[in-house]
Amino acid sequence: MGFFTKIKNFIVELWGVSDTSLNEQILKDIDSTRFVVLDTETTGFDYENDRILCIGAIVLQNYRIPIQESLEIYIQQEHYNKATAQIHGILRASVLDRPNELEALQQLLDFVGDSIIVAHHTSFDITMINKALERNGLPRLKNKTIDTAILYKKTLLNSPLLDRKDSYSLDDLADKFDISKKDRHTAMGDAYITAIAFLKILNKLKEKKGFNFNNYLNIDKK
Amino acid sequence: MKNTISQRVADFLKNFPPFSFLKQRDLELISEQITIIYKEKDSVVFAENEETHNSFYVVHKGAVALRGNHENEILDMCDEGDIFGLRPLIANENYKMEARTYEESILYAIPISVFKPYALENKAVGNFLIESFASNTLNPFSKSHRGKLYGEESLEADTKLLDLQEVKYSKKIVSCIATTTAKEAAEIMRHKNVGAILVVEETFPIGIITDKDLRNKIVTGEFQITTPVSEIMTSPVITYPTKMTVTQAQIAMMKSDISHLCLTIDGTSNSKAVGMLSKHDVMVSIGNNPAVLLREIKRAKKFKKIKQIRASIIHLLQGYLDQNIPMTLITKIISELNDACTKQVIAIVLKKTETSPPVKFSWLALGSQGRSEQLLLTDQDNALIYEDVPEELEAETKKYFLELSARINKGLFEIGYDYCPAEMMASNPNWCMSLSDYKTKIHHWITNTGKNEVLLSFIFFDYSLSFGDTELVNNLSDFIFEDVKANPTFYIHLVSGALQSQSPTGFFREFLLEQDGAHKDFFNIKNRALMPLADAARVLILSHSVKSISNTAERFEKLAELEPNNSELYTACAYSYKALLKFRTKQGLLHNDSGQYIALNTLSKAEKIKLKSTFKTIKELQEIIRVRFNPSNIL
């Protein structure tokens, strides 16, 4: 991917505050920060040719998820891939009244604002969205992002006894945290699972020694 | 806007009153307005006298405790589907109770403005609310199990000491002699209306016949009714002295799985029988007690039920600690109960599994549970051994047991055991293997010992059988002893591992506290005090090749017996271990956690001195090991 470089002390340099105090600040700010947890269902994994079918996004602020403020958009399709329809069950014409890609993106941008975006395997969802933005002549997302797949690894015991996997799927997280997998593989359902997993991860990380939340905030520098 | 999440919420709510009375469509409309709230364990939802929020709450996951004006008194415990914080909204007054999460919880906040029209319009909803307010519990449907759940009723002051009262036994002994026929014995039993008859010679008990013996041996036609009782009696009789407490009697029955105890003058079968004690005698007067809980566990058909029983177990534990009952006794009872919970979870899973296990298997508890020292809920550490199968069946067999283990691990999780962070669980392919694979693995630890292997041995070697086949486990234990004996260098590694545990005090004898993290300035009682003792006990007991004692205090007691010249120190170790365990348990109960970290400023001066005195013992013990297992002495 290469678009996203992890910038450890971005804000530190910017504001000249110490690393630890900033970290505490951010942990405190978790209470008030507006996070948007999102997931996309796509026609496939090819950034160039595949398209977003559906976006599910929910707001997470102060440990609360107001259902009313969530966003679930099914996008009108030009391109369609039969193979992935079996996974997400979205058929080409099954949802009426769909906005086109541009309208959907505008809704999404309004919704996200300057919130921190949380997703599982962020780079996939963000790249998909950025490609769509590009196609429609819109600027890329500038939001800070957090990847629960990476953050989760930080909760794992640092012990030689534990066989770590390279990558943990959303299913792994749902099993670990006892989150119901109902609605798995719908954008909204996955966004919800990600949100709850994110909260549980934060809760675990608070107990960890010297954890620096900042290190896991990614900013698109490009 | 209707969406996937609001539907998910509606699907949950429709299972619980009063939402179950609403139309699906209305419920969906309400669900769209709901806010989902995540709360860490022990965080306040609303405080006493706080101004009301504009929503009331439904517990989706976890549990919320409602407490009254005396902070610590739990008035109500809400779990999945229970509503709380509604009455003040309707009555227009401030909150009368404090609501605080008892576990990590997910709540649904339902705005009163959205819900009120339905409450007014829908009669069933209104009635439900009126009823629940009147009964002063928030959910009348859960009222029935509430008393049992938290034991408020059964642990009243007057029943508290009952467990330690001496048993009241029947002094009129119903007995017969060896030549009495089965028929005559049965007639005596009917006449006296008892379930067991003692067979005596002179006045000494030589056997016992219970209803069960008659059923199994006579009614089945296996023996004639004219058979003399000496041929069908259970012998020898398990005897106890007359001075025993209710709790001891229960343990004795649990231990031998019998329903009657014979009491004799000196407690052996070589003295006069003076009384009989039946299970029934013990149970009659007591409500919430180990035997009753044990029976309830065995009857449980759902994980959720076991979770409820576990709450009573914790309550019992609290009661025992308050009454200063000996720690040995407490650990025995509580670990027995915890063990029964695990067994029942496995039994439930097996019952629900369509295909029965292809070969014999054993489920092992590791770590503190294996040492029968687990009083509070901690993480689960377990492993599964299955019988060796021909190579072509191995993959299939392993798959079967892995799937079985995954369900058992999930079941244990549901009753409150967290997943092991190091994945030392039977659902992990490394801890679900055939007997020979275990042997290969353990042989590797013993012959190629590095830091990790020592660590693994430490956790694994404290196993005890929770469920399944005894043979497999014995076979493995024998193998370990033989292999360790053949490879004495292994001791050196074990010892260096045991000595590595951090010292509890610094140079000036002050407590060493955690340097950073969430437990900064707390004392880690597990790592700094309990572990050094447990590790040392393991090395020593292994060097004496003593099998089947895995409890640390018991290990020290055995060591005191085996090494008379060190018996004083070992006895002190056993005592210290129990004292430390008690400390930990009390702290854990106080904070509803595992009690691993202790805030020193909450301890009294006397408690601190007591704690420190145990450290001296630890130092002396480590010294002995250092000398004894000095590499030059072994090789």
* 3-class SS string, B401-420: HHHHHHHHHHHHHHCCCECC
Picking from B1, B2, B4 by the largest number of A CB atoms within 10 A of its own CB, the best residue to mutate is: B4
Q: Answer yes or no: is B155 within a domain.
A: no
**Would you call A31 an interface residue with chain B, using a CB distance cutoff of 8 Å?**
no
Q: Is B366 helix (H, G, I), strand (E, B) or coil?
A: coil
pLDDT at B556: 93
Residue range B214-225: average pLDDT? 88
Q: Which chain B residues are closer than 8 Å to A208 by Cβ?
A: 517-518
Q: Which residue of A has its CA nearest to B453?
A: A161
Q: Does position B136 have pLDDT exceeding 80, yes or no?
A: no
Instruction: Specify the DSSP element, H or E, that contains B372.
Output: none
Q: Residue A214 class from Cβ within 10 Å (0-12 exposed, 13-18 middle, 19+ buried)?
A: buried
**SS3 labels along B234-256:** ECCCCEEECCCEHHHHHHHHHHH
**Per-residue pLDDT at B164 exceeds 60:** no
CB B549 within 8 A of CB B532: no
In a domain? residue B266: yes
Give the rounded distance of the alpha carbon of B437 from its chain centre: 30
Gap between the terminal Cα atoms of chain A: 13
**Between chains, do A203 and B519 touch, taking CB under 8 Å as contact?**
no
**For B129-136, what is the mean pLDDT?**
62
Which run of H or E residues covers position B78?
strand B74-78
Task: Give the helix/strand (H/E) hosting B602.
Answer: none
Residue with tokens 């020290």: B556
- Residue B464 domain flag: yes
The pLDDT tens digits for B510-565 are 666 776 667 777 888 888 888 889 988 988 888 888 877 888 999 999 999 999 98
At residue A218, does pLDDT exceed 80?
no
Q: Which tokens is A74 given? A: 């099914």
Phi first, then psi: give them for residue B267, nearest 5 degrees: 90, -5
B21 Cβ contact list (under 8 Å, min separation 6): B122, B124, B125, B128
Q: Which residues of B464-481 are buried (b: 16+ CB within 10 A; e: fewer)?
A: bbbbbbeebbebbeebbe
The span from the CA of B235 to the CA of B79, in Å, is: 50
Residue A60 pLDDT: 93
- Give domain status of residue B528, yes or no: yes
> Does some domain include residue B53?
yes
CB B439 within 8 A of CB B479: yes
Range from A11-15, B398-402, B501-505 that averages highest in pLDDT: B398-402
Q: Which residues of B440-460 are buried (b: 16+ CB within 10 A; e: fewer)?
A: ebbeebbeebeeebbbbbbbb
- For residue B238, the enclosing domain spans 167-284
Q: Which has the minimum average pLDDT: A111-115, B287-291, B503-507, B599-603?
A: B503-507
Q: For domain A34-155+164-220, give its CATH number from 3.40.50.10330, 3.40.50.1980, 3.30.420.10, 3.40.50.720.
A: 3.30.420.10
- pLDDT confidence of B172, banded at 50, 70, 90? confident
d(CA B544, CA B558): 10
> Can you give the pLDDT at residue B147?
31
User: Higher confidence at residue B220 or residue B136?
Assistant: B220
Q: What is the pLDDT of residues A118-168, one digit of tens each?
A: 999 999 999 999 999 999 999 999 899 999 999 998 888 777 667 777 889
Same domain, B229 and B327: no
Closest residue by Cα to residue B55 from B40, B72, B33, B71 = B33
Shortest Cα distance, chain A CAs vs residue B467, angstroms: 25
Q: Is A203 on the interface with B (CB under 8 A)?
A: yes
What is the number of domains present in chain B? 4
CB contact under 8 A, A64 and B422: no
| DSSP-based three-state secondary structure for B432 | strand
| Residue B206 Cα distances to B179, B201, B260, angstroms | 12, 6, 14
The pLDDT mean for chain B works out to: 82
Q: Residue B272 to residues B59, B139, B200, B203, B318: CA-CA distances in angstroms?
A: 60, 57, 9, 5, 39
Least confident piece of the model among A5-9, A93-97, B4-8, B151-155 = B151-155
pLDDT of residue B404: 95
Chain B residues inside the 8 Å CB shell of A68: 1, 32-33
Say which amino acid occupies B83: I
Same structural domain, B523 and B611: yes
Instruction: For B357-463, list the strands marked E by DSSP.
Output: 361-365, 382-386, 432-434
Instruction: Please check whether residue B126 is in contact with residue B72, taking contact to mean a CB–CB distance below 8 angstroms.
Output: no
Helix (H, G, I), strand (E, B) or coil at A16: coil
Question: In B288-313, which positions are buried (b, 16+ CB within 10 angstroms) versus exposed (e)?
Answer: bbbbbbbebbeebeebebbbbbbbbb
CA B479 remoteness from chain centre: 29
Shared domain check, B48 and B112: yes
Q: What CATH number should be reported for the domain holding residue B211?
A: 3.10.580.10
**Residue of B7, B12, B33, B36 to mutate, testing the A interface (most A Cβ within 10 Å of its Cβ):** B36
d(CA B88, CA B104): 24
Task: Decide: B153 and B315 in contact? Cβ < 8 Å.
Answer: no
The amino acid that residue B90 corresponds to is I
Nearest to B326 by CA among B251, B241, B239: B251
- Which pLDDT score, from 0 to 100, does residue B80 have? 85
Q: How close B618 comes to chain A (CA, Å)?
A: 26
Does residue A35 register a pLDDT over 90? yes
Q: How far is CA B97 from CA B39, B61, B142, in A?
A: 18, 21, 19
Q: Is B3 on the interface with A (CB under 8 A)?
A: yes
Of A58, A157, A160, the CB nearest to B5: A58
Q: Closest approach of chain A CAs to the CA of B403, in angstroms? A: 14
User: B390 and B340 in one domain?
Assistant: yes
The set of residues, in sequence order, having a beta carbon less than 8 Å from that of B403 and lying 6+ positions away, is: none
Q: Does B69 score more than 90 pLDDT? A: no
Quick check: B39 and A188 CB within 8 A? no
B115 occurs within a structural domain: yes
Q: What are the angstrom distances between the C-alpha of B625 and each of A133, B4, B321, B532, B578?
A: 69, 63, 33, 11, 21
Give pLDDT, residue B287.
47
Helix (H, G, I), strand (E, B), or coil: what is residue B289? coil
Q: Is residue B158 part of a domain?
A: no
Q: Where are the beta strands (DSSP E) in B135-271?
A: 175-176, 196-201, 204-210, 239-241, 260-264
Instruction: Return the amino acid letter for B128.
Output: F
B34 in A contact zone (CB under 8 Å)? yes
In this structure, the answer to whether residues B33 and B180 fall within a common structural domain is no
Instruction: Tell me whether residue B486 is in a domain.
Output: no
Mean pLDDT throughout A40-64? 91
- In this structure, what are the phi and psi dihedrals at residue B389, rounded to the nearest 5 degrees? -125, 160
Report yes or no: A44 at the B interface, CB cutoff 8 Å: no
pLDDT exceeds cutoff 60 at A34: yes
Return the number of other C-beta atoms located less than 10 Å from residue B43's C-beta.
12
The two structure tokens encoding residue B287? 């409500």
Q: Which residues of A73-90 are buried (b: 16+ CB within 10 A; e: fewer)?
A: bbbbbeeebeebeeebeb
* Overall average pLDDT of the B570-584 stretch: 90
Q: What percent of chain B has pLDDT over 70?
A: 88
Q: Which of B158-162, B426-430, B534-538 has the lowest mean pLDDT?
A: B158-162
Sorted by sequence, the CB contacts under 8 Å of residue A168 that are 6+ apart come out as: A149, A152, A153
Q: Reply yes or no on whether the pLDDT at B139 is more than 60.
A: no
**Per-residue pLDDT, B510:** 64
Q: Quote the tokens at residue B609.
A: 């001195």
Cβ atoms B250, B291 nearer than 8 A: yes
Contacts of B567-570 with CB under 8 Å at 24 or more apart are B569/B617, B569/B620, B569/B621, B569/B624
Is the confidence at residue B396, as pLDDT, over 60?
Answer: yes
